[in-house]
């Protein structure tokens, strides 16, 4: 089954470029594109996408508000933020709103396509610069964190590797384990933290509240 994708982007040229990019790949199916997310509630009901590419700076209603509504209305839909913003506040708000990936618009097209598949499979793809920002949001000195204490040392290593923007394949290589083992660890992390995505797990376990 192809991955069903919807785009929210108010820049016409970029939206059209993304359309061409996604339509050119066999295992992706572009359902719809929108210049704003003012009617996202109706859009979700009609389109039922697997993955949404979401800009932050949209007219009338921000992409962060849009991501929050997606999480409430269609929690199985993954939101991948694609934006020019790389400041801490917007990154934190986007992740807390339910975004499961965060890429800058200058990201190469091939990486955007890879990120769509990653987020669809439960990953949290991030541009390296964004991953560094996320790490900077971690407490400088480990505080008592009851959520983090629920995880084994190995599970924490897996989650920290994902928080650096690594794909499942990269986590497996870094920790010298198989991709199936990575998936097993992630499943256990979800169960222990009562979350449904890597981004939620990162926010709950590491980010300063």
CATH class (in words) of the domain with range 138-205 = mainly alpha
Which DSSP state fits 126?
Answer: B
Q: Please state, as a whole number, how many other Cβ atoms lie within 10 Å of the Cβ of residue 198.
A: 24
Q: CATH topology for 3-135?
A: Rossmann fold (3.40.50)
Q: Average model confidence (pLDDT) for the chain?
A: 85
Q: What is the pLDDT of residues 148-161, one digit of tens each?
A: 778 898 998 998 88
Angle, nearest 10°, between helix axes 12-23 and 109-120?
A: 70
Residues in CB range of 6: below 8 A, 6 or more apart = 30, 31, 32, 33, 34, 43, 47, 49, 51, 52, 53
Residue 66 pLDDT greater than 70, yes or no: yes
Strands 78-83 and 3-8: unpaired
Is residue 99 within 8 Å of 74, Cβ to Cβ?
no
Q: What is the pTM of this model?
A: 0.71
Which residues face 144 on adjacent strands?
none
Q: What is the pLDDT of residue 145?
A: 58
Is 138-205 the same fold as 3-135? no
Residue 144 pLDDT greater than 90, yes or no: no
HSE-CB at 111 with a 13 A cutoff on CA atoms is 17
Q: Which two tokens stand for residue 142?
A: 């480990």
Handedness of CA 90, 93, 96, 99 (dihedral sign): negative
Q: What is the pLDDT of residues 97-110, one digit of tens each?
A: 878 888 888 889 99
* Domain assignments of the chain as residue spans, ordered by start: 3-135, 138-205
Q: What is the pLDDT of residue 142?
A: 47
């Amino acid at each position: 089954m192809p991955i069903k994708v919807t785009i929210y982007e108010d820049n016409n040229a970029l939206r059209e470029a993304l359309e061409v990019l996604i339509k050119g790949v066999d295992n992706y199916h572009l359902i719809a594109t929108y210049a704003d997310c003012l009617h996202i509630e109706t859009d979700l009901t009609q389109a039922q996408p697997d993955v949404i590419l979401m800009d932050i700076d949209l007219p009338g209603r921000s992409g962060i508000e849009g991501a929050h509504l997606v999480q409430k209305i269609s929690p199985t839909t993954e939101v991948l933020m694609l934006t020019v913003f790389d400041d801490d506040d917007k990154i934190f708000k986007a992740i807390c709103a339910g975004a499961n990936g965060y890429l800058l618009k200058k990201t190469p097209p091939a990486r955007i396509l890879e990120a769509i598949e990653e987020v669809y499979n439960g990953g949290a793809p991030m541009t390296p610069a964004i991953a560094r920002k996320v790490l900077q949001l971690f407490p400088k000195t480990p505080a008592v964190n009851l959520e983090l204490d629920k995880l084994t040392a190995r599970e924490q290593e897996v989650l920290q590797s994902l928080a650096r923007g690594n794909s499942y394949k990269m986590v497996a290589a870094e920790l010298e384990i198989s991709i199936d083992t990575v998936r097993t660890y992630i499943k256990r992390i979800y169960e222990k933290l009562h979350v449904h995505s890597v981004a939620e797990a990162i926010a709950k376990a590491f980010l300063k509240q």
